[in-house]
Structure 1
């Protein structure tokens, strides 16, 4: 009995998936209530929710708290340009992509001390950002800058703060080096909730540390993007021997 019962939610997911891919249920359309779908398929709401969880993990269905389950609209990917720590200009300028941001002053502790190479308790300017395309979240960023390097008024000026954070770019001194560590991993529960994804689809996590010509860390950025909504491009520039080019 365990086998047929446990496979029932996969059968339901297959049927709903077919309806979505065939266009019988259109992008943005709300699915019937969970109770209504459970009655239609003659299963418990627990089994029905297991079927919906499969489609949510695949990115076909999005559950909006208090509103129900919706067929997810096709998501346009954004592009992260490595080495500069920005979104590409075309993406960043797109009116549909908006960034909400909260700024704060925090004290360095734990991993922030290591990333920014500062003593415990050092004041940092913190920018917490989330980007959206329409209603769909596209990325998270937490940007930290030594408080004395943050331009005057940037924490109080909402437009300046938003402009800088939208680019995920350095707010402080000119750069000498940018080090980016990139990995694919499962999202944390907080990341999954903020990005409206399940715990199964991987995210692309980028830790970006920028230093100035003196070797001082001027920014540390922790960026997280759903793996199906981001392309990251990194370009390597090869140094040429000036003596050969001049000869």
Structure 2
């Protein structure tokens, strides 16, 4: 029984990937034209484009309309610190990192009503945040709070609260409990457009729900980061319990 031969475009992608990852083709360099590459590998341009599409999906190659295919420069990563619900302070404080913020009042739809445990249609303060460094998009955040607990300074866009937005931090008072659910998946069309990434590029998502001491949800944040631009760090603190014995 003969072994199955892998499609030719897999071999081409493997060869180009090896050249890119070993810096034989350095970041920022333009690849030869598709016609030249097709002739070099003795394949059709259709097969060659399949190989390039695989590398584009992996984030190794970027196709710029009218200019060609380029080896992508690696993105600088930011760090999300779990448990505190914030970006790494050093990252967030860098002047090159800026955040665009839009705020509005929206009614709680089915998903949001469930997440915040409020009746359908309840007024929510919504904050849409996008972190940007030059031309690079680092993260997207949708932060929701019951309208009656949203701090006035946050609703008014007070500059004193800009640091909280910059770090995607908790916007209200320190909660009693914060629960974070982390997963990786493909981006939605809206996320792909907002973050300027391909639909095949994975994203890291954090769903952060904070409750007060009475169990009321005071904030729900939906955070989305391109997978190649963030690290998430979670630290567990173990309490020491000493066994007490009576004399």
User: Do both share a fold (TM > 0.5)?
Assistant: yes
1:229 corresponds to: 229
Partner of 1:59: 59
Q: Which moved more, 1:140-149 or 1:234-243?
A: 234-243
CA RMSD of aligned residues (A): 3.1
Q: Cα deviation per residue 1:127-152 (whole Å; 9 max; x = unaligned)? A: 11222333222222111111122222
The equivalences for 1:215-226 within 5 A come to 215-226=215-226
Equivalence for 1:38: 35
Alignment of 1:204 with 2:204, yes or no, is: yes
Deviation sequence 1:30-80 (CA, Å, 0-9, x none) = 556xxx423652566644442322111221123456775432211222211
Alignment partners' CA distance in 1, 2:196 and 2:51:
17
Match of 1:168 in 2: 168
Q: Pairwise mapping of residues 42-191 of structure 1 onto structure 2 (< 5 A)? A: 42=39, 46-63=46-63, 69-157=69-157, 159-160=159-160, 162-191=162-191
Structure 2 unaligned regions, length at least 5: none
Change (3 A) 1:48 1:134: farther
In the alignment, the residues of structure 1 paired with residue 96 and residue 19 of structure 2 have an alpha-carbon distance, to the nearest angstrom, of 28
CA 1:95–1:26 in structure 2 vs 1: closer, same or farther (change >3 Å)? farther
SS in 1 for 2:13: helix
TM-score (norm 2): 0.80
What displacement does 1:241 show? 4.1
Report the CA distance between 1:16 and its aligned residue: 4.2
Are the aligned partners of 2:26 and 2:71 in contact in 1 as well (CA < 8 Å)? Answer: yes
Which stretches in structure 1 are left out of the alignment for 5+ residues? none
Q: Deviations over 1:156-200 (max 9, x none)?
A: 427456432221112223311101111222322332333333344
Structure 1 pair 21/98, CA: closer, same or farther in 2 (3 Å)?
Answer: same
